Amino acid sequence: MKPVSSNDASLAPQIWNHAAQLDNIPVISTRSLVSPGARAVVIAPHPGDEVVTCGGLLQLLSALGHPLQLISITDGSASHPGSRQWSEKRLSVFRPQESVEALRRLGLPMHSLKWIRGGFTDNALNEREDELTQFIARYLRPDDVVFTTWSGDGNCDHEAVGRAAALAAASVGAICNEVPVWAWHWAARDQAQIPWHRARKLRLDTWTVARKSHATHAYATQLDGEPAIGIAPLIPPVLLERMRLPYEIVFV
């Protein structure tokens, strides 16, 4: 399987649009994923991952009154290397602001949302995995239900956070679920590597999908690349198209 980069302009709508297994994924309800009264913790490697992975689930949990905690591991400031328009200093300010706007568009209660910012450097999380595990564990409780990126996703930061979150959750007795992002854009020949037996489908209604898509467009710095220096959009059109699907897939 070819490692996937969010800067890869060649991404195609492959597995998520063509795999026969998608039709056979069992449907799961919000209440089955997160028990009544339990806190949901979403761990995002980069700004935008919280919406891309489970922007629909966040809306459903909020509507049910679940306490929510978001852990943003990085501020995404290293996403445009060599850019004069988007220096690391400027991105460290803009990208968290985009996340605030995206969460507002989802309709989340910002006054009660607990939000932890890690300040780790993106594109190098696997080099600090032990520290990352300890950091995450500090903010988890035994009755939490964690959602984070899949440890086999094909992106080094997504995989490092997936592994660290799983270890941190296990250390405190919390439940950890993983969500694939870039894996859906692998070539069809690699679909056997996806753990279909763990996959569950969470259905989303029209308005939930619309709010999720609207929230994704809040990440202006990720929608336009800089072709002159070889930077493709971090959120390419094919991913925006997938955001309009009436379901989210979770590995339980």
Q: Which phi-psi region, left, alpha or beta, contains residue 230 (left: φ > 0; alpha: ψ -120 to 50)?
A: left
- For residue range 144-183, list pLDDT tens digits in order: 999 999 999 999 999 999 999 999 999 999 999 999 999 9
* C-alpha to C-alpha distance for 225 and 208, rounded to whole angstroms: 28
Give me the pLDDT at residue 198, please.
97
Mean pLDDT of 42-55: 94
Question: Exposed, middle or buried by CB within 10 Å (0-12, 13-18, 19+), for 43?
Answer: buried
Question: What is the percentage of the chain residues whose pLDDT exceeds 70?
Answer: 89
pLDDT attached to residue 31? 95
pTM of the shown model: 0.91
| pLDDT (0 to 100) of residue 189 | 82
| Tens-place pLDDT, residues 190-208 | 888 999 999 999 999 999 9
235 DSSP assignment: S
Residue 66 has pLDDT above 70, yes or no: yes
Between 236 and 211, residue with greater pLDDT: 211
- Write down all domains in the chain, each with its CATH number in brackets: 35-76+89-251 (3.40.50.10320)
DSSP E strands, the chain: 40-44, 68-74, 114-120, 145-149, 175-179, 199-203, 247-251
83 vs 198, residue with greater confidence = 198
Q: What are phi and psi of 178, to 5 degrees?
A: -115, 150
Angle at 98 between CA 151 and CA 231, to 5 degrees: 65
Question: Span 224-250, mean pLDDT?
Answer: 83
Q: 3 pLDDT band (50/70/90 cuts)?
A: very low
**Residue pLDDT, tens place only, 179-193:** 999 998 888 888 889
